[in-house]
Each structure stands twice: as C-alpha cells, then as structure tokens.
A = this chain, B = another copy of it.
Amino acid sequence: MSLRYAVLTLLDIEPGSGYDLKRRFERSVSHFWSASHQQMYRELHRLHAEGLLDCSEQPQAGKPDKKVYSLTDAGRAALADWVQQPAPAQKIREPFLIQLFAGHHLSRQQAHDTVSRQLEQHRALLQSYLEQSERVEQSDPALQERYWLAGETLALGIEAERTWIAWAEGILRKLEQD
C-alpha cells in the first residue's frame, strides 16, 4: 500500500507522466523505494479511477503523447492523512547477506570476489547519491527549505552507503590477511 503514497508524494511535488515518474523514482527516491514502469502505470490507473489523480493528455513535438497526472484535492487529502499515520514496518530483503550467511560454502577467493563486486555497486550508489545531493544544493533555496525533510532522507542514504562501504572494506582486509 505504500507505492501509491510514493506516487502521490512525487506528483504532489511536481505533476508528471508514468514515464517521468519511473525516472524520478530512479533518480530521487531510489535509496528507499523502487518500482518498475508496469507498477507505475497500473498504480496511476488505479489512483485515477479512485479520483485521487487528474489526467491530461499532452501532445508533444517529436515525441509520443504524454498523460500528465496531478493530484486532485482528494489526492492531497489522502496523502496528508497518510503521512500522519504510523508507518508500516520496513521489510528488509538482502539476498547478498544470505549469501554471506551461507559463506562457509565459499572459498576465501570466492568470498573476496563476491564482496568486491558488491562493494563496487555500493561505491557507484554513493557516487550517484552525492551527485543528487549536489543538484539539490544548487537548486532554489526556497524549495530546499520547503523540502528539507526530503533532503534528509538523501543524507541518510549517503550515510548508510558510507557505513556499508567501510564494513565491506573491513571484510576484504580480513580476507586478505591470511
């Protein structure tokens, strides 16, 4: 049930199409939510059917037409109501940590390889979060002020990645020293 509120939140900040939304999920909330384009379109249809979203078709020059969605009053009310409810518990599912949990089936070299591979991915993630953070810092101060709590979620993403990277580097050191 949280996907719908993630969608409402992004469209509340700025209206957009399913395609826009998919990219905004990748670029701005990937540190706490992910969804495929099919999920977006389905959720947009549902929210529109329930009267939480308005939809206007916009022909574009040189590109296919867009369906731009924006919140109705009912949509804004539903979102404002939900943010005040206790948040459903997060469900953590990290396949890589299962592999480490079963790490006694790996040779030292294999363990080193899998951890290294993950480490590269997390370094890339940290890099992309830092770039996002820079973009935020260069944006309109009034918007930064209004959405400062959103900015803090990104700060958490950055800190979490730094913690992860430091931990993984520690494991690699232990695997290297016999």
Partner-B contacts on A (CB < 8 A): 2, 5-6, 8-9, 12, 29-34, 79-80, 82-84, 86-106, 110-111, 114, 117-118, 121, 146-150, 152-153, 155-156, 159-160, 162-164, 166-167, 171
Contacts and interface: CB of A to CB of B under 8 A. Distances in A.
Contact of A156 (B33, B97, B110): B97
A101 B167 contact: no
Contact of A102 (B83, B89, B162, B166): B83
Contacts of A96: 87, 90
Contacts of A88: 95
Nearest to A86: B117
Nearest to A7: B98
Given A9-B98, A149-B101, A153-B101, A2 B93 contact: yes
Given A98-B2, A114-B87, A92 B31 contact: yes
Given A82-B99, A89-B121, 13 more contacts: A5-B95, A6-B101, A12-B102, A32-B94, A32-B101, A33-B94, A83-B106, A86-B114, A91-B93, A100-B152, A104-B146, A111-B149, A152-B167
